[in-house]
Amino acid sequence: MDNAAQVARDLPPADAALASAIAGETLRRLPDLDTMIDSATRHRLPDDSKARMVLRLALAQKIGLGTPDHALVATALPLVDGGPRRLVHGVLGTLLRKGVPALDAPGLPEAVEERWRAAWGEEAVQAARRAIAYRPPLDLSFADQAAESEFPEGNSLAPLHRRLEAHGAITMLPGFGDGRWWVQDLAASLPARLVPASANSVLDACAAPGGKTMQLAAAGHEVTALDRSESRLARLTDNLGRTGLRAKTVVADALDWMPEQPFDAVLLDAPCSATGTFRRHPEVLYRARPAIIEQGADLQARLLARAAGWVRPGGSLVYAVCSLEPQEGEERIEAFLGEQADFHLERAPLLVDGVTPHERGWLRVLPGMLESQGGLDGFFTAHLVRKA
Ligand SMILES: C[S@@+](CC[C@H](N)C(=O)[O-])C[C@H]1O[C@@H](n2cnc3c(N)ncnc32)[C@H](O)[C@@H]1O
């Protein structure tokens, strides 16, 4: 654990929540905050200088959390005591007097914009800018129809789904203790919806913390949930305990595990860059460098090849990534089909109004889809069927 993570762990919960909110609001708008800071300094402050860091945090609190000016100044200056205090005071004062803009469609990191513009077009980049400015709504998945119809709040955009716009602590929402629902972005609920109802045995091959395992178990499949991380699998077991759903759990590396017999269906929710989750986790945009995406694509190809061998003839392989990178989605599936002649792509049905299946048959969720209803995480999922 690095120092920052240790410090965050030792903070009282309210302080940890505030620190996380400030960091999140900063990362949502980093390039624009830097432009603003540069507009008020004669010499460009180094990217990793304390002065720039403190100014970013102060401006992000103003824009994202509505913190009053006097509180911003009072909390920023002690951070640079004995250092660039006068500089920070001067720059912050200048910017606050000028008026800080709302930044409701801030720029993404330049490399990300270029990549997504090339892959998805300008409209998707503009939609991503609008999406990153705000924390997204909360999506809940329900174990069954009765649980959903008893839930008092929210809009349903698909069966067994409700969306809440504003909410307090998740544990305080009605029915949390009864385990009738769990938190899951609507886009992340799509892969399990592609698993045929007729499949009896289903392997969830990268299962933890278990959102899709719970959907599969709730749908009546006999689920084996595999993950190589023991601690993440412990969270999955907790989640199953809370919801009263059942699955067999296996701690193993999918790259060398072998089942005793093939499954009717395998769901592979592969580890990936997670760039589709940028609305909740803006930091992913700074982590997902091209080399990381390439390494991810290589791992996904190896996992797909393994998972293909565990599907019985006539069975299904559902592949998913919460990524907006074509190398981890479309390109993986096209390469897989080029190598595995006994699999074909099954056309996905329309599962959510506004997420039209691609002409190749997969589902590609992009920024801008369902925007007026709160949007969706970026996502890719495809249903492959093995020849009988
Ligand atoms: C995208 S997350 C899965 C999310 C999960 N399906 C859900 O809906 O809650 C990917 C998971 O893959 C696991 N993983 C990564 N490499 C693996 C491997 N080689 N074998 C098994 N699990 C692996 C990680 O521990 C992580 O829990």
Confidence band (pLDDT; 50, 70, 90) for 1?
A: very low
For 95-104, what is each residue's pLDDT tens digit? 999 999 999 9
Name the pairing type of β-strands 201-204 and 263-269: parallel
Tokens of 25: 């609001």
d(CA 273, CA 270) in angstroms, rounded, equals 10
Ligand 1 centroid–CA 102 distance in Å is 37
Q: Is 253 in the pocket of ligand 1 (CB under 6 A)?
A: yes
* Closest residue by CA, ligand 1 atom 2: 271
Q: How far apart are CA 152 and CA 174, in angstroms?
A: 8
Strand bridging mode 161-164 / 263-269: unpaired
Q: What is the pLDDT of residues 292-305, one digit of tens each?
A: 999 999 999 999 99
Q: Which atom of ligand 1 is nearest to the CA of 206?
A: 12
* CA–centroid distance, residue 362 to ligand 1 (Å): 21
Judge contact between 62 and 22, C-beta under 8 A: no
Residue 73 tokens read as: 């100044």
Q: Is the CB of 209 under 6 A from ligand 1?
A: yes
Q: Tens digit of pLDDT for each residue in 192-204?
A: 999 999 999 999 9
Reported as a pLDDT band with limits 50, 70 and 90, residue 176 is confident
Whether residue 191 has its Cβ less than 6 Å from ligand 1:
no
Average pLDDT, the chain: 96
The owner of tokens 């719970």 is: 214
Residues 74-97, buried b or exposed e (16+ Cβ, 10 A)? eebbeebeeebbebbeebbeebbe
Pocket test for ligand 1, best of 224, 228, 275 (most atoms within 8 A of CB): 228
Task: Give dist(CA 22, CA 217) in Å, integer.
Answer: 37
Give CA separation, 68 vs 27, 58, 88, in Å: 20, 10, 17
> Is there an atom of ligand 1 within 6 Å of 280 CB?
no
| 30-84 pLDDT tens trace | 999 999 999 999 999 999 999 999 999 999 999 999 999 999 999 999 999 999 9
User: To which residue do tokens 């997504």 refer?
Assistant: 116
- Does 360 sit in the ligand 1 pocket, CB within 6 Å? no
Rounded Cα distance between 193 and 359, Å, is 19
Give pLDDT tens digits for 316-347: 999 999 999 999 999 999 999 999 999 999 99
Strands across the sheet containing 161-164: 161-164, 138-142, 181-183
Pairing relation of β-strands 138-142 and 161-164? antiparallel
Q: Is 322 a catalytic residue?
A: yes
Q: Choosing from 226, 322, 365, 366, which is the catalytic residue? A: 322
Give yes or no for residue 227 CB within 6 A of ligand 1: yes
Q: What one-letter code names the amino acid at 90?
A: G
Task: Tell which atom from ligand 1 comes closest to the C-alpha of 272.
Answer: 1
Q: Specify the ligand 1 atom closest to the Cα of 188.
A: 8
Q: How far is CA 320 from CA 104, 124, 130, 270, 313, in A?
A: 30, 20, 25, 6, 21
Q: Does 2 score more than 60 pLDDT?
A: no
Question: H/E element holding 264?
Answer: strand 263-269
Cβ of 306 less than 6 Å from ligand 1: no
Confidence at 385, pLDDT banded by 50, 70, 90: very high
SS3 247: coil
**What distance in Å separates the CA atoms of residue 272 and residue 293, rounded to the nearest whole number?**
7
Given this model, what pLDDT does residue 380 score?
98
Tens digits of residue pLDDT in 101-119: 999 999 999 999 999 999 9
